[in-house]
Copies of this chain bind each other. A is one copy, B any other.
Amino acid sequence: MLSLTEENYLKAIYHLSDGGTKSVLTNEIAESIQTKPASVTDMVKKLAVKNLITYEKYYGVKVTRQGKSEALSIIRKHRLWETFLVEKLGFDWGQVHDVAEQLEHIQSSLLIEKLDEFLGFPSADPHGHPIPDKNGKFHVSRQIALAEASGKKTVMRAVRNSSPAFLDYLSKQGIYIGATIKILERMEFDGSLEIIIDGKKKVYISKEASENILVTE
């Protein structure tokens, strides 16, 4: 069984590795986990002994099959809890992450199975991020950034950045997961967009915002 700290390192490494594809450097981990490189080196050795990652001195780490499976189980818990907080307890989508950071470490497979069922086996969390199933598989529809979308009607599916500030901004603009978004005009000057939400509300959003909104066409 992994300690809370080991779980946090492994999850961070998994995310930085883009789902286990890229290898990850010591400083990136330190940065992402708010700790010092020296501490990372220590922990990385521990995780390597447990076969969750492979570690090559000075060249970073790679997530193993076993590590991927453990990481996905933590991510699954995190996203199920976020869904619970929003759907059942009425939290705002910008309030849930920090609480889920704690809840994801509760150890009880029965709890997670029952929670999943209670929530109706959701396939995405409140930010549109996919929830892996019990076996670590997720089925995701092809999503693209609104910035790359054509002028066709699209549906908002997820956020790429889930900072409270951005989520608040979206809420204020009336943009939410499931909303229909059509691009009316793309400004050549700065890449900002004029869009229409649900065929009703016209708003202007910056290029940066449009890069963090994921849609399906």
Contact = CB atoms under 8 A, between A and B. Distances in A.
Contacts of A91: 110, 114
B102 A107 contact: yes
B99 A108 contact: yes
A63 to B, nearest CB: 26
Contact of A89 (B95, B106, B114): B114
Given A89-B114, A90-B114, A118-B88, A102 B95 contact: no
Contacts of A90: 114
A106 B100 CA distance: 10
Nearest to A113: B89
A184 interface: no
Contacts of A103: 103, 106
Interface in A37-72: none
A115 B85 CA distance: 9
A106 B102 contact: yes
Contacts of A203: none
Contacts of A107: 102
Contact of A111 (B99, B108, B115): B99
Contact of A102 (B85, B108, B115): B108
A89 B102 contact: no
Contact of A115 (B89, B98, B110, B115): B89
22 contacts: A85-B111, A85-B114, A88-B88, A88-B118, A89-B111, A89-B114, A89-B115, A89-B118, A90-B114, A91-B110, A91-B114, A95-B110, A98-B108, A99-B106, A99-B108, A99-B110, A99-B111, A102-B106, A102-B107, A102-B108, A103-B103, A103-B106
Given A88-B88, A89-B111, A98-B108, 6 more contacts: A90-B114, A91-B114, A99-B106, A102-B106, A102-B107, A103-B103
